[in-house]
Amino acid sequence: MGIANKRTDATFELVDIKEYNLPKFNETIPAVMSESYETPEVNVWSDKVKELDGFVFVTPEYNKGITSALKDAIDYLYTEWNNKAAGIVSYGSSLGVTAANNLRLTLTVPKVATVGTQPALSLFTDFENMSSFKPAGFHEETVQTMLNEVVAWSTALKTIRN
Ligand SMILES: Cc1cc2nc3c(=O)[nH]c(=O)nc-3n(C[C@H](O)[C@H](O)[C@H](O)COP(=O)(O)O)c2cc1C
């Protein structure tokens, strides 16, 4: 967010899925077939995703996958994601790269175009005592490149949504 907020080509905001209190996925009708939700919390989540043109997913990796919380947050919606762009930043003891690749595959279904540049952070070298975030300086260039790609694709994809 520190890097993104210094940019002038887009407005960035932090969206923490934890704050949306989404329960475990429990819809009868999949979002691809319906845009009305049985779970009240999903309506708030839907409004938020709807208003955004692009995303940067920041994800840890647990046993080679993304968290069930993130998977549910994606699965709950469909058209809200369609024809938007995303970058992925992963972290973990082995950089979270496999989770990032899983996430990339998941996002193909709701038609989110994921950019190629993918910053990956190590629990051992980008965090102090595995908890306090102290990223190595070289990541900034990769993050800027990823954001360049996300802004460009988000801007381009807006034209086909309209
Ligand atoms: C059960 C478990 C499995 C994990 N598996 C992986 C893994 O496959 N790859 C990886 O890079 N890190 C793995 N990690 C390390 C986590 O990504 C790391 O603890 C990270 O800080 C979790 O992020 P969070 O605390 O924000 O949820 C694992 C951690 C746990 C507890």
Q: What angle do CA 144, 14, 23 make, to 5 degrees?
A: 130
pLDDT of residue 34: 87
Q: Tell me the torsion sign for CA atoms 36, 110, 119, 149.
A: negative
pLDDT of residue 144: 98
For residue 74 and ligand 1, the question of a CB distance below 6 A is answered with no
For atom 24 of ligand 1, the residue with the nearest CA is: 60
For atom 18 of ligand 1, the residue with the nearest CA is: 92
pLDDT of residue 145: 98
CA of 119 to the centre of ligand 1 (A): 16
User: How many structural domains does the chain have?
Assistant: 1
Q: Show pLDDT as tens, one digit a residue, over the chain (162 residues).
A: 999 999 999 999 999 999 999 999 999 999 999 889 999 999 999 999 999 999 999 999 999 999 999 999 999 999 999 999 999 999 999 999 999 999 999 999 999 999 999 999 999 999 999 999 999 999 999 999 999 999 999 999 999 997
CA of 95 to the centre of ligand 1 (A): 9
pLDDT of residue 35: 81
CA of 79 to the centre of ligand 1 (A): 30
Do 59 and 160 form a contact (C-beta atoms < 8 A)? no
Residues in the chain: 162
Do 59 and 71 form a contact (C-beta atoms < 8 A)? no
For residue 54 and ligand 1, the question of a CB distance below 6 A is answered with no
Look up the CATH number of the domain holding residue 38: 3.40.50.360
Give the domain extent around 148: 4-161
- The minimum-distance atom of ligand 1 relative to the CA of 90 is 11
For atom 6 of ligand 1, the residue with the nearest CA is: 62
Pocket test for ligand 1, best of 16, 70, 93 (most atoms within 8 A of CB): 93
**Exposure letters 48-82 (e unless 16+ CB within 10 A, then b):** bbeebbbbbbbbebeeebbeeebebbbbbbbbbbe
Could you give the C-alpha distances from 84 to 16, 17, 45, 50, in angstroms and in order?
A: 19, 18, 16, 10
**Exposure letters 101-131 (e unless 16+ CB within 10 A, then b):** bbbbebbeebebbbbebbbbbbbeebeeeee
CA–CA dist 60, 111 (Å, integer): 22
pLDDT of residue 78: 97
